[in-house]
Structure 1
Amino acid sequence: MSRHRGQRRTSRLDDRLEALNEARELAEGVLPAEALSAVYGVLDRAASRRSLSRGHTVVGFFGATGSGKSSLFNAVLGERIATAAATRPTTDEPLAAVWGAEGSGPLLDWLGVARRHLARPVEGFADERSGIILLDLPDFDSTVGEHRETVERLVGMVDVLVWVLDPQKYADAALHAGFLAPLAGRDAVTLAVLNQTDRLGAEDLPDVLASLRSLLDAEGLEGVDIVPASALTGHGVGAVRGAIRRVAAGNQAAAARLAAEVTAAARTLAAASGDGTPAGASPGSVRRLADQLSAAANVPLVVEAVRAHTRREAAARTGWPLMRWIRKVGRDPLARLGLTRTGDTPSANRTSLPPPSPAERARTDAAVRGFADAASEGAPGPWRALIRSAAREGRDRLSDALDLAVAGTDLGARRRAWWWGLANAVQWLALATAVGGLVWLGALAGLGFLQLPVPETPRVEGWPLPTLLIVAGIGTGLALSVLLAPFAALSARRRAAKARRRLTEAVRSVAQREVVGPVREAIGRHAGFVAALEDARG
């Protein structure tokens, strides 16, 4: 059962480490480098520690000069191997006492501990099968800089931390601010030993222990056990051994320490990120952005050109044929804008639309900025900056992208309404009728001029048929032109409306690609970061 619990704990730790690394990757370039570096250090140490012996538990003894740290180390070990002194630092480099040498070498190499001692079994505490490694470390307040550096390095590497305090220095500010306070959350793998209790009277010990308890609680170390002991008299040494043994039981202290480090690293990222959730890119804000960009892309101008072009084409194809040349006077509205098409393939070239003025560019920038501000509303500071930056990245490409989108939109300029052909046929039939009447009258006039017999002209209600053909042909053509004008205007409006929808969709696609998409990606990045952080916290 213990083995299965260990496997589940390892699996959970794997998931949490993976989530922490994902959160770190998502936060790259967003959160401060110091926070990311600290998290990377945790991940690096975790990877290194987990690749080494999991059958050993490394217990570090930390303390100030004169705390009796080395004396307590010897007492717990049951033999004198560490040099002890009361007033000056005597531990120049870490010293390891090892139970179970097999597999400990690479672990101690990683820790940078060269001095190693194979410890004798201590009944009820440690033997070769227990895999416990005790480290006697330099004093954290040593005047030698290398000593402090060694302590600072190993504080983040050992599996279990035993802080040896003495009645005179247990409240030392340097100890609490520099070492104990940052260990909040590592309660399960941290022990506090109040050494040299033989110097206290029986009536003073409870007060000192209560004071130390209060200090630790204030620093978030409520779960840290405090063990009173005296290396000199041996009082409490058994309790220290028992506390270490309990923490190291099942060789799960390393995993517990790493789990605590992951939790602390997740808190570091959370603190650097800040709280809040971005409002996101709502459909309404996307529509407003597309509308503002449509104005910047001269969509209203193009729509009006489509309407004018359609009326012009309708008149040219359905009007009185003899008057159609008038419709050809002046350049086509779409041609003036460079929006003519060849076949059914949209143009990939630039249009001839007027370039945006400084005022229009300012309005475009304001539209993008307003969209980004609305989408990032409520986001923590670093992520709000990321979302705004994502919106601005495509801003310089907008003008060209919008122009190409307009140029590539099928405006339906070459499509002909079904009734145009029918009206055109009727117009030409009416013209042919009028021309037929003119030719008939001309023929009759020619015969008369040549003094040739003129056949009798058919009449309808007393009117000569050729004259009726002329009047009917011209009248029909002109009347048809007048009657079809409203239909031409309606067709132009419909085609302009369709062009507006297509242009708006093209502009919306540009907005999606250059602004909305990057903004949503940045928001999704924040959401992924938050989710990964929650998983890392476990």
Structure 2
Amino acid sequence: MSRHSDARESTRLDGRLQALNDARELGEGVLPDETLQEVLRVLERASSRRSLSGDHTVVGFFGATGSGKSSLFNAVSGAEIATAAARRPTTSEPLAGVWGAEGSEPLLDWLEVHNRHHAAAVDGFADEETGLILLDLPDFDSTRQANRETVQRMVGLVDVLVWVLDPQKYADAAVHHGFLAPLASHGAVTLVVLNQVDRLPERDVQPVLDSLRGILARDGLAEVRVLASSATTGAGVAALRAAIRSVAMQRKAQSQRLAADIAKAAQELLAVSGEGEAAGVRPASKKRLADELAVAANVPVVVRAVGQSYRLESVRRTGWPVTRWLSRFRPDPLRRLNLRSSAPAELNRTSLPPAGAPERARTDATVREFADAASAGAPGPWRAAIRGAAREGRERLPDALDQGIAGTDLGANRTSWWWGVFNVVQWLALLTVVVGLGWLGVLAALGYFQMPVPEVPRVEGWPVPTLMIALGVVLGIFLAITGRFIAAAAARARAGKARKRLNAAVASVAQEFVVEPVDVEVSRLGAFNAALKKAGSG
């Protein structure tokens, strides 16, 4: 393997490991902790293995009791390593045969293999060209719990897995369902050896091998290499040794094993997550949510109050001065709702009626409908996460909406230019009436006391004082009526502006407490799927 290829493969592995870690982090709180912890263990194993010797290939021999695994290990090693290390019928702890000892110690320490044998060169295995560690491992069906745990641990650590089966138990469900099928993604670093073929009639060897290959195909290992051997006669040993040497010399086993681990972890995440993308937040759904929340938050009530308040204030400012004082006895709708306060919004609260059961039900249904639309197409756990984000925000909506309305500028304290004009003219009209009445009063008094009464100016035969009174009264009434029409039109315009501002405030609250949390979860699912796809790509 060239340096350029090594660097490229390392970079690709880095990317896939990072993607797997990203997927794990994104899945926290959504996917089962057990699966996420297993992924974390894969990442930690990968990090540890890559920090150790890349010049050594670790090959583990796995098998059941009576499969002849240790004998085959010795035959491949070219020495009685297993017998020399432990004189007992079955292997009780891992045993290592090492070719190329330099740099192997930290790797063996990490593997927790204490029985180490620096093996002599044998056909295909030589210190100067091969960094190789062969491991003879305990039987996976051992009656000792510690032995089974060691096998399970080593299955996750070694670079190459050699499964030694025998003609009697080659179809044993324990090995196929417990080990081979779950490791279907590891076919590139798996060898299967049918050992003890010397115990079969020669005519039966090929049918048994064909049967074994069929079972392996059902396990998902149709492409795995299957060899026949006999530790007793030496048949197939050279072929097995050559296969192991080929793997070691290519220096690909470590990266292939890690790539298989990543692919398997990605598949496990996919299995608990499910496939699919969320529909996401649509503009129409956002608008419907804001509209429904506006109704539930009594925005129409506030809008009506804005119009009524403006009309009332217009009467107080522009009505006929003789009668306008009566409007003081009418309460201001906005003041009644505590929406004329100058206090900061965070300290102020409206006096709007609290949401009753119908309003709460409407809000709940609206938020749920929004979340359902956004989560459509998402797999189960993520759909629940999206709905949960919307539900969490929903609990805080009533108070947030109240503050949003309280903090909206309704224009309640703004005056209109025409108020001043009408007010001045109204007072001038009233002054005209008063002057006319006073003039007539003086003339009447002079006549009563038999004093000379001056001639009153006339216009078209009408006395000027009388005309002044008539003009003042008519003008005052005309202005009062006209003012009401102008006030009604201006009140509608002000209410319309208030509606827009209130709807914007409600939409902002909905965005913060419902839309954004939902959007975050939708984006999280998208990032998770992208990371998982990258991690799982071979």
Contact 2:100 2:126 in 1 (8 A): no
Q: Deviations over 1:285-304 (max 9, x none)?
A: 22222122112211111111
Within a 5 Å distance, the mapping from 1:102-113 to structure 2 comes to 102-113=102-113
The alignment status of 1:402 with 2:401, answered yes or no, reads yes
Deviation at 1:450, TM superposition (A): 4.3
Give the SS at the match of 2:191: strand
Within a 5 Å distance, the mapping from 1:223-262 to structure 2 comes to 223-262=223-262
1:473 counterpart letter in structure 2: G
Give the SS at the match of 1:82: helix
1:61 counterpart letter in structure 2: F
**Mean alpha-carbon deviation: is it higher for 147-156 or for 420-429?**
420-429
Following the alignment from structure 2 to structure 1, what is the Cα–Cα distance between the partners of residues 94 and 200? 30
**Mean alpha-carbon deviation: is it higher for 223-232 or for 263-272?**
223-232
Alpha-carbon RMSD = 1.9
Following the alignment from structure 2 to structure 1, what is the Cα–Cα distance between the partners of residues 504 and 146? 67
1:399 counterpart letter in structure 2: P
Q: Deviations over 1:308-336 (max 9, x none)?
A: 10111112222212221122222111111
1:189 counterpart letter in structure 2: V
Residue 145 of structure 2 corresponds to 145
Following the alignment from structure 2 to structure 1, what is the Cα–Cα distance between the partners of residues 369 and 245? 62
Following the alignment from structure 1 to structure 2, what is the Cα–Cα distance between the partners of residues 243 and 283? 61
Q: Deviations over 1:369-426 (max 9, x none)?
A: 2222222222111111111111111222111111111111111111122322222222
Following the alignment from structure 1 to structure 2, what is the Cα–Cα distance between the partners of residues 170 and 276? 39
Following the alignment from structure 1 to structure 2, what is the Cα–Cα distance between the partners of residues 481 and 333? 21
- TM-score scaled by length of structure 2: 0.96
Using a 3 Å threshold, how does the CA distance of structure 1 residues 8 and 347 change in structure 2: closer, same or farther?
Answer: closer
Contact 1:348 1:408 in 2 (8 A): no
1:371 counterpart letter in structure 2: F
Deviation at 1:451, TM superposition (A): 4.0
Deviation at 1:167, TM superposition (A): 1.3
2:104 counterpart letter in structure 1: S
Deviation at 1:236, TM superposition (A): 1.4
1:520 counterpart letter in structure 2: D
Contact 1:406 1:503 in 2 (8 A): yes
Give the SS at the match of 1:349: coil
Within a 5 Å distance, the mapping from 1:169-318 to structure 2 comes to 169-318=169-318
Residue 462 of structure 2 corresponds to 463
2:432 counterpart letter in structure 1: T
2:160 counterpart letter in structure 1: V
Q: Deviations over 1:224-263 (max 9, x none)?
A: 1011112111121111111112222332211110110000
Contact 2:306 2:410 in 1 (8 A): yes
Residue 532 of structure 2 corresponds to 533
Give the SS at the match of 2:164: strand
2:101 counterpart letter in structure 1: A
Contact 2:341 2:348 in 1 (8 A): no
Within a 5 Å distance, the mapping from 1:14-53 to structure 2 comes to 14-53=14-53
Residue 334 of structure 2 corresponds to 334
**Mean alpha-carbon deviation: is it higher for 28-37 or for 415-424?**
415-424
The alignment status of 1:493 with 2:492, answered yes or no, reads yes
Using a 3 Å threshold, how does the CA distance of structure 1 residues 112 and 73 change in structure 2: closer, same or farther?
Answer: same
Following the alignment from structure 1 to structure 2, what is the Cα–Cα distance between the partners of residues 338 and 135? 81
Deviation at 1:447, TM superposition (A): 3.4
Task: State the percentage of identical aligned residues.
Answer: 63
Give the SS at the match of 1:203: helix
Contact 1:368 1:395 in 2 (8 A): yes
**Mean alpha-carbon deviation: is it higher for 435-444 or for 482-491?**
435-444
2:386 counterpart letter in structure 1: I
Contact 1:318 1:481 in 2 (8 A): yes
How many pairs does the alignment contain? 536
Within a 5 Å distance, the mapping from 1:441-460 to structure 2 comes to 441-460=440-459
Contact 2:162 2:191 in 1 (8 A): yes
Deviation at 1:281, TM superposition (A): 2.0
Residue 154 of structure 2 corresponds to 154
Within a 5 Å distance, the mapping from 1:402-441 to structure 2 comes to 402-441=401-440
Q: Deviations over 1:431-488 (max 9, x none)?
A: 2222222222233333334444333211100111111111111101111222232221
Give the SS at the match of 1:184: helix
Using a 3 Å threshold, how does the CA distance of structure 1 residues 39 and 89 change in structure 2: closer, same or farther?
Answer: farther
Deviation at 1:525, TM superposition (A): 1.0
Give the SS at the match of 2:323: helix
Contact 1:71 1:84 in 2 (8 A): no
Contact 2:303 2:495 in 1 (8 A): yes
Q: Which runs of 5+ in 1 are unaligned?
A: none
Residue 516 of structure 1 corresponds to 515
Residue 81 of structure 1 corresponds to 81
Residue 391 of structure 1 corresponds to 390
Following the alignment from structure 2 to structure 1, what is the Cα–Cα distance between the partners of residues 299 and 487? 22
Following the alignment from structure 2 to structure 1, what is the Cα–Cα distance between the partners of residues 278 and 89? 54
Q: Deviations over 1:1-43 (max 9, x none)?
A: 7111011101110110111011011111211122112211111
Following the alignment from structure 1 to structure 2, what is the Cα–Cα distance between the partners of residues 316 and 304? 18
1:260 counterpart letter in structure 2: A
Deviation at 1:89, TM superposition (A): 4.4
Deviation at 1:84, TM superposition (A): 9.5
Following the alignment from structure 1 to structure 2, what is the Cα–Cα distance between the partners of residues 56 and 292? 66
Following the alignment from structure 2 to structure 1, what is the Cα–Cα distance between the partners of residues 536 and 436? 97
Following the alignment from structure 1 to structure 2, what is the Cα–Cα distance between the partners of residues 232 and 285? 74
Using a 3 Å threshold, how does the CA distance of structure 1 residues 89 and 434 change in structure 2: closer, same or farther?
Answer: farther
2:205 counterpart letter in structure 1: L
Residue 352 of structure 2 corresponds to 353
2:112 counterpart letter in structure 1: G
**Mean alpha-carbon deviation: is it higher for 451-460 or for 507-516?**
451-460
Give the SS at the match of 1:163: strand
Residue 13 of structure 1 corresponds to 13
2:198 counterpart letter in structure 1: D
Using a 3 Å threshold, how does the CA distance of structure 1 residues 303 and 76 change in structure 2: closer, same or farther?
Answer: same
Give the SS at the match of 2:82: coil
- TM-score scaled by length of structure 1: 0.96
